[in-house]
Structure 1
Amino acid sequence: MSWTTFHRRGEVLAAVVEAANTRRDGLLPDDVPGVPETFRDELDLLGALQLRWHTRLSGRVERELSGQPLDLDDAVVRAWVATAGALPGVREVLDRALAVGVDPEADRLLATAVAKERMMLAAMAGRSSYDDDRAVAVGADVEERARAAWARVAGSAAARDAGADARPGLLDRLRAALAA
């Protein structure tokens, strides 16, 4: 891959991420200009989105843990929620692909990515090691807590958008503190 091709792929992927985050319909935005010329197929595009999600999540986890929190589990949950807040449409595209299925190869690769992500979540939360047989199940538990927290954050954001007078959630307070 040439330097120009690499940068073009990054630009198109950024446009796909933006489209997914704007549309929030869970559909793969393969109609974005440049997608057919840049990505081989749906699997290639889904893989790029999965990698974008995982990279962002890993970075957020590292950032949360760098503050030496007393509760590693909560730090990992906060990182997942923050990543979902930054990439909500990407998360919806990946969740839909996992729920509905794409094709046998894509389904297998996405399932493998999910298992590896869950192993990382469990290890970073201090609840398992990567080579522990229970790591995927423990990571699924961490992910479930994070999804529940995300649902509360997303629900409070929707209430604020509708004009409700809600107290700011943890994520809102963290963003305000970082912005200050």
Structure 2
Amino acid sequence: MTWTSFHHRGDVLRAVITQADARRDGLLPMDVDGVAETFRDELTLLGALALRWHTRLAGRIERELMTQPMDLEGAVLAAWQATAAELPGVRAILDRYRAEPLDAEMARAMTTSAAKEHVLLSVMAGRASARDDGAAAAGERIAERARASLTVPAPRAASGSPSLVERLRAVLTAA
């Protein structure tokens, strides 16, 4: 992948995330300009969105643990909720295609992705080690608790230009 194609891929992925956050219908926005040329298929795009979610979640957990190092599980819950509030469309897509994968390959990928997320949650919350057989189950319970008390604001009406926060988020995301 060339430097130019890497940046183009990032631009397209940001456009997909913006569209997903606006729609929040859980469907992959395959109609966004550049998606067909940049991502081979739905699974490739879903993988990129899952990677964005996992990366953002891991970073959030690290930041939360710096501010509340004595409450590991509380930090992990807060990080999951903050990430879900920041990427509501991506979370909706991941949830939908985990529940309703398009094929067996997507089902395997989403099962693996969810298990890795759950292990991360349980390990960072101090509930298990990465090698524990019950780590994924413990992390799934943490995710369910975070989801149960999640409040995500309704999508804003689309305006002609992005807000200052949206522009800053795009700059920070690109970095």
Match of residue 11 from structure 1: 11
In structure 2, what is the Cα distance between the partners aligned to 1:114 and 1:20? 19
Q: What displacement does 1:149 show?
A: 1.6
Q: TM-score, normalised by structure 1?
A: 0.83
Equivalent residues in 2 for 1:11-30, closer than 5 Å: 11-30=11-30
What is the number of residues matched between the two proteins? 155
Contact 2:53 2:91 in 1 (8 A): yes
Partner of 2:110: 110
Please state how far the C-alpha of 1:110 moved relative to its aligned partner.
1.1
The alignment-based identity, stated in percent, is 59
- Indicate the structure (1 or 2) with the bigger Cα radius of gyration: 1
Q: What is the rounded CA distance, in whole Å, between the counterparts of 1:18 and 1:140 in structure 2?
A: 27
Q: Quote the residue 1:67 is aligned against.
A: 67
Which residue of the partner structure matches residue 169 of structure 1?
none
1:56 counterpart residue number: 56
TM-score (norm 2): 0.86
Correspondence list, 1:16-165, <5 A: 16-150=16-150, 153-154=151-152, 157=153
Between the aligned partners of 1:35 and 1:74, the Cα distance in structure 2 is 37
Please, which runs of 5 or more residues in structure 1 have no aligned partner?
A: 162-180
What SS does structure 1 have at the residue aligned with 2:26?
coil
Superposition misfits of 4+ residues, deviation over 3 angstroms: none
* 1:32-89, Cα deviation, whole Å (9 max, x unpaired): 0000000001100000000000000000000000124321101100000000000001
- How well do the aligned residues superpose, as a CA RMSD in angstroms? 1.2
TM-superposed CA distance for 1:101, in Å, is 1.4
C-alpha distance after superposition, 1:80-132 (max 9, x if no partner): 00000000011001101111112111110111011011000000001100000
